[in-house]
């Protein structure tokens, strides 16, 4: 190697030593060892040092075509020591500032997204549910009023027929009354079953509509 190449190599390795110090501080800042399982820490350490080795060799390959000398390790050590004594405090302050800024911007964007997207969607869903519930209640009231109206009209229309049937019943012989009484009892049982079924359906609809 020429003297110029050696100088570039020393300068590059010193810079890589400073880079190694910054990379270690960054790695330790994000990897909280006390809160990680041992195998996760081991795997991360292995990947970290493999990446650093590849990066060091790549820089060395660019500078002097990959020739390794003992003094390069001294240059790395000097760069690492210079970082620890001169740049570490500044770098950590900048790193913490960037992390806090990123978290602040992230929380701000999440708050804006919640206000702009999530709250309107929740409001639309709530409004839709209120409208559907109101329409169901209105439909149920109309259905109930229609049933009461029809039932009242049927009672008015059938009133003369009822009086005629009572007159015929009073004039009917006893054995026919007994025969028809049995039939009416069976029909009454069927009617009661149908009535109970309708009442159960009504209660279910009232539970669904909340009324």
The rounded distance, in Å, linking the Cα atoms of 167 and 180 is: 15
- Is residue 37 very low, low, confident or very high in pLDDT (cuts 50, 70, 90)? confident
57: Cα separation from own chain's centroid: 45
Biggest alpha carbon–alpha carbon distance for the chain: 139
The rounded distance, in Å, linking the Cα atoms of 120 and 133 is: 20
31 three-class SS? coil
Give the Å distances, CA to CA, from 16 to 23, 130, 161.
10, 65, 109
- Cβ atoms 209, 136 nearer than 8 A: yes
Residue 4: per-residue pLDDT: 76
DSSP state of 33: G
Closest CA to 87 of 24, 149, 38, 180: 24
Percent with pLDDT over 90 in the chain: 13
pTM: 0.54
Closest CA to 211 of 141, 131, 114: 141
The rounded distance, in Å, linking the Cα atoms of 58 and 66 is: 8
pLDDT digits (tens, 9 = 90+) for 80-138: 999 999 888 899 999 999 999 999 999 999 888 888 888 888 888 888 888 888 888 88
pLDDT digits (tens, 9 = 90+) for 124-183: 888 888 888 888 888 888 988 888 888 788 778 777 777 777 777 677 777 777 777 788
Q: What's the Rg (C-alpha) of the chain?
A: 45
Neighbours of 8 (CB within 10 A): 15
Domain ranges of the chain: 3-107, 172-211
116: Cα separation from own chain's centroid: 17
């Amino acid at each position: 190697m020429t003297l110029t190449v050696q100088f570039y190599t020393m300068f590059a390795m010193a810079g890589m030593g400073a880079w190694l110090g910054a990379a270690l501080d960054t790695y330790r800042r994000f990897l909280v060892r006390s809160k990680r399982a041992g195998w996760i820490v081991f795997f991360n350490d292995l990947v970290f040092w493999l990446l650093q080795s590849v990066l060091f060799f790549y820089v060395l390959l660019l500078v002097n075509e990959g020739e390794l000398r003992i003094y390069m390790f001294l240059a790395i050590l000097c760069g690492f020591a210079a970082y620890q004594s001169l740049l570490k405090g500044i770098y950590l302050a900048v790193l913490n500032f960037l992390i806090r800024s990123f978290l602040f911007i992230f929380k701000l964007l999440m708050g804006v997204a919640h206000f702009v997207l999530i709250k309107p969607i929740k409001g639309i869903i709530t409004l839709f549910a209120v409208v559907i519930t109101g329409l169901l209640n209105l439909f149920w009231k109309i259905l109930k009023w229609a049933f009461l109206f029809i039932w009242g009209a049927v009672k008015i229309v059938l009133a003369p027929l009822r009086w005629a049937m009572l007159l015929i019943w009073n004039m009917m012989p006893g054995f026919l009354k007994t025969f028809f009484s049995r039939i009416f009892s069976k029909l009454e049982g069927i009617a009661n079953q149908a009535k109970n079924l309708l009442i159960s359906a009504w209660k279910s609809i009232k539970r669904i509509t909340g009324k």
